Structure 1
Amino acid sequence: MASASASLELPVPPEEVWRLIGGFGTLHDWHPVISGSEVSEGGRVRRLTTSGGDVIVERLEAFDEAGRSYSYSFIESPFPVSKYRATLRVREADDGRGSRVDWSGEFLPDGVTDEEAVELFQGIYNGGLKAIADIFTPKGS
């Protein structure tokens, strides 16, 4: 299995960040590559549309409101991987001031090298975290 991960620290409370990113059907509200999201099966499946027109269908595998995390897997995706499972988590920052967002995933590359698959998901995670940082960073900072 290959893996990728990204983290971000923000000077805002974890609860505030979780309000933005904690909904399984709200990825399109903050990730710049996701233009649409439809949920089904009682909120356990999301169908994402990318700005390029690709479709990604994901299943919610675990959700922990109190722990501010959820894990999901691919049902259908355009990506060259299988057995994909990822977790998005918001917790208190290590220094006790603000929050830390962690996004990580494991997968089996399919037709690409481990390095190529890791680079792909690293870019997706970093792009999402940058967008979150931009939302919570005052303009002109």
Structure 2
Amino acid sequence: MPKPYASAVINATADEVWSYVRDFGNIAEWLPSIETCEIEDQGDGGGGSGVGAVRRLTGAGDAVFRERLVALSDADRSLSYDFVESPFPVRRQRSTIRVAPVTDTGQAFVEWSGEFDADAGDEERMTKIFAKAVYAAGLDGLRKHFG
């Protein structure tokens, strides 16, 4: 099972970054490939950031992604989501974002990882797309957001 990964140090505290990233409905603000994000199902506790929340994303060429928040931990500063619908040739895709403090500088260490199933001919290409075009690009968007 492929496991794409990207990480970055962000010039803000872990609490500041987590407060921003945990908002399941704001990904279009910091992931360059996403044009719109609409919360379709509020999930537990409402507000669109509870477990079970579903977001509908549109990307380039009107590509539609629907993702369900499956885990959220403020204590661990982490969230995980699964694809509900995707134009990508993957199955059982799960991604996790985790934010931790860099103890000697006060900055945030953010890692975004995933795993998915795909046909053997799609695995390498999809691993690169997730690692570079999604995860690394999103972390770069967070860097820009926090200056």
- TM exceeds 0.5? yes
Q: Flag the 1:122–1:94 CA change in 2: closer, same or farther, 3 A.
A: farther
Q: CA RMSD in A?
A: 1.5
- Residue in 2 aligned with 1:118? 127
Counterpart mapping for 1:128-139 below 5 A: 128-137=138-147
Check whether the contact 1:14–1:90 (CA below 8 A) recurs between aligned residues: yes
1:52 Cα offset (Å): 2.7
Unaligned runs of 5+ in 2: 43-47
Aligned-partner Cα distance in 1 for 2:39–2:77 = 20
Structure 1, residues 6-54: CA drift from partner, whole Å, max 9, x if none? 0011231011112222111111111111111111222311111113310
Aligned-partner Cα distance in 2 for 1:49–1:114 = 23
Task: Give the structure-2-normalised TM-score.
Answer: 0.86
- Residue in 2 aligned with 1:104? 113
1:132 Cα offset (Å): 1.0
Counterpart mapping for 1:47-86 below 5 A: 47-86=56-95
- Residue in 2 aligned with 1:32? 32
Structure 2 residue corresponding to 1:93, chosen from 98, 102, 124 = 102
Greater strand percent: which structure?
A: 1
What is the identity, as a one-letter code, of the residue corresponding to 2:79? Answer: Y
Unaligned runs of 5+ in 1: none
- Residue in 1 aligned with 2:45? none
Aligned-partner Cα distance in 1 for 2:82–2:106 = 31
Identity %: 39
- The answer as to 2:18 corresponding to 1:18 is yes
Check whether the contact 2:11–2:143 (CA below 8 A) recurs between aligned residues: no
Check whether the contact 1:80–1:111 (CA below 8 A) recurs between aligned residues: no
Q: Flag the 1:66–1:55 CA change in 2: closer, same or farther, 3 A.
A: same
Stretch deviating more after TM superposition (17-26 or 30-39): 17-26
